[in-house]
Amino acid sequence: MTAIERAVELVGGQTALARLIGIQQSNVWHWLNRHNQVPAKFIRAVSKATNGLVTVDELLDDHEKTNK
């Protein structure tokens, strides 16, 4: 499971995460289904939305896995 998948699960879904960080649900869908990672500018916000249960380092690891 990727860090973004965990984050979505922890906060209660794509719509919930989107609301918490001030974006549209469709953005979260793309992160999950097209990119498998959170864009760098949203990493801290996503970690904060999960109260640190998904760390910045875990979200950065998704970038490393995708870019190999």
Q: What is the pTM of this model?
A: 0.91
- How many C-alpha atoms does 36 have within 13 Å on its Cβ side? 10
How does pLDDT run across 10-64, given as a tens digit for each residue?
A: 999 999 999 999 999 999 999 999 988 999 999 999 999 999 999 999 999 988 8
Residue ranges of alpha helices (H) inside 24-55 are 25-30, 43-49
CATH 1.10.260.40 fits 3-66, yes or no: yes
- Give the domain ranges of the chain: 3-66
| Three-state DSSP state, 13 | coil
How does pLDDT run across 32-47, given as a tens digit for each residue?
A: 999 889 999 999 999 9
Is the pLDDT at 68 greater than 60? The verdict is no
